[in-house]
Structures are given as structure tokens and as C-alpha cells.
Amino acid sequence: MKRFLTALALASIAFGGAADAKDFKAGSKVRIATEGAYAPWNFTDSSGKLDGFEVDLYADLCERMDVQCDLVQTAWEGIIPALQAGKFDAIMAGMSITDKRKEVITFSRSYMGSPASFVVVKSSPLASLSAGLDALTLADVDAKEKAGLDSMKAALKGKTVGVQISTTHENFLNEYMGDTVTVKTYDTQENLDLDLVAGRIDAALASLSYWVPLLEGEKGKTMAMVGPKMDGGPFGNGVGAGIRKDDQELADMFTKAIDEARADGTIAKLSKQWFGFDGTPKE
């Protein structure tokens, strides 16, 4: 299905692409698509109103770009071909920036990261694990971050770390710690949690968007998050606004507005409000 949609998107470009480049500038009309069915990123409340992280963020970004925005609700299936066909000008729908998607569309810089972190049971000796860092960006590691990464690696040496199979988190473990820790993979995150509580594994690695709600609830009351929030590198490029390749200047406008919203703490505030943690993407 996904491949078919990509093919359709490519075909639509091949057939002369009805959507020629538009001139975007201050005062322009920009139509932004969202799915409205992916809480807490974007969803519909029971009265039919759109709400969520991206619904708040788009209004802020449009004000910064000084453009008139229309938010359109559209189905996730076919959202990229619809962008190509010119039904709207940008996608803000929790869409991760991936190389596969970059073959057909372009992206603004990310407005939300995909941070991950280790979790252990509170009684574990690893509960005091700290790399002396709050956050760690794996794309460009400086000396302090390198030291932190090494101390984490040393603390986990010989331990068993659980991770959900075929995830960016598994890639990270294999790439950065594969030689010193035993990586145990699980088909579901729930099975991973059960083994962590049962003591079959010493630590678990997953995304903050999973851990934060879990640790607040009944199931997570014996668990604790340890070490820094890790982002970038094998954890991916975060989530950004998808835009037609012809409209690079619109992507640049988004990037500039997102950088401003990062700098003044707007993204931090919104991400704490909707996700329960600060997922502001780094450089």
C-alpha cells in the first residue's frame, strides 16, 4: 500500500505535476493538512473540533511566517499524493522526516524530536545511573557528551537491555553498545515492560513519548527513567512539515519560524503541555 502511494506520488510528478511552484511570501494563503486522528499530535474532540500539539503549533508558526493559514483535515492514506496534487501546501501530521519520504517531498527542519531514554526498576543498582547530562544529541557528539556516553556504556557493561524489535532503539543499542551489553528484543513493548518488572532484564530502552504516560500511571510506579534523553543520530530526524519539492521557499519559511519558536521556548511549552516532556529538537 505504502509503495503504491509512493508510486502514485511519483506518477503525479511525472505527469507534469498540476501543482506548479507558487510564490509564497508574507500575506500568502497557506493550506496546511492534518489528519485529526493521531492523539496527542492532532486529533478531533467529541464536538468535532481539531485539537492537539500540531493544531496549537501551526497557529503559532503561521503568525511568525505572517501568512494566512487554513487547516484542512484529510485522511492519512494518500496524504502525500494529495500534497502533490496541490490540495494543500504543507503537511503537519506527526510525519517523521525519513529518507524514503524525502525522495518525493521536502521537509522543513524538525519541530519535534523523537527522544529516547533508559528505564530501570527503582530498586535496581542502575537506578543511580547518570551520564552527567540531561540531554544527548547523537548527531554531533562533543567531548562532554562523549564522556557521558562512555560512562553510561561502562555502567551498563555486562547487563541485559531490552528493546522492541526493528526499532530505532534497537539500532542504537547495536551500534553504540552492542559489544558490551546483551541486547534482548521483544515483539511488543508490553512484553518488554513485564520482563523488566520481573527482573529478566536490567534496563529497557524506548521513546519518551511511550515512557512518560506509562511512568505516570499505575503500571509504571515501580519504574524510573535514568540517564540522559537521547536524540538525533540513529534515533531519527524528528518530525517536520512536509512540503512539495517545488516550494523550497515555503520550507525555508517554516524552518525559520520553527527556529524562532524553538529559541523562545514555544515548542518546549507546547510539547510539555501535550506530551508531558520537552521534546524540542536540537540543531
Applying CB under 8 A, the residues found at the interface with other proteins are 8, 12, 15-16, 18-20, 31, 35-39, 43-48, 72-75, 77-78, 81-82, 85-87
Which H or E run includes 106? strand 106-112
Note the helical H segments in 156-247: 168-176, 189-198, 208-216
Please, what is the minimum distance in Å from the beta carbon of residue 204 to other proteins?
22
Please, what is the minimum distance in Å from the beta carbon of residue 24 to other proteins?
13
Which is nearest to 206 in space by CA: 181, 173, 179? 173
Please, what is the minimum distance in Å from the beta carbon of residue 77 to other proteins?
5
Which is nearest to 254 in space by CA: 85, 95, 18? 95
Cβ-Cβ contacts under 8 Å for 154 (sequence gap 6 or more): none
Any bridge partners for residue 205, and if so which? Answer: 118, 163
Q: Which is nearer to other proteins, 70 or 140 (CB)?
A: 70
Please, what is the minimum distance in Å from the beta carbon of residue 46 to other proteins?
5
Q: What angle do CA 253, 68, 54 make, to 5 degrees?
A: 70
Q: Which is nearer to other proteins, 39 or 268 (CB)?
A: 39
Please, what is the minimum distance in Å from the beta carbon of residue 4 to other proteins?
9
Which is nearest to 58 in space by CA: 276, 241, 262? 241
Write the Ramachandran bin of 116: left for phi over 0, alpha for psi from -120 to 50, otherwise beta. Answer: beta
Phi, psi of 180 (to 5 degrees): -115, -20
Q: Which is nearer to other proteins, 130 or 213 (CB)?
A: 213
> Are 169 and 207 in contact, with CB atoms under 8 Å apart?
yes
Q: Which is nearer to other proteins, 49 or 200 (CB)?
A: 49
Phi, psi of 97 (to 5 degrees): -80, 110
What's the CA dihedral at 32, 35, 41, 43 to 10 degrees? 120
Q: Which is nearer to other proteins, 93 or 224 (CB)?
A: 93
Please, what is the minimum distance in Å from the beta carbon of residue 235 to other proteins?
24
Please, what is the minimum distance in Å from the beta carbon of residue 245 to other proteins?
16
Q: Which is nearer to other proteins, 18 or 26 (CB)?
A: 18
Q: Which is nearer to other proteins, 189 or 237 (CB)?
A: 189
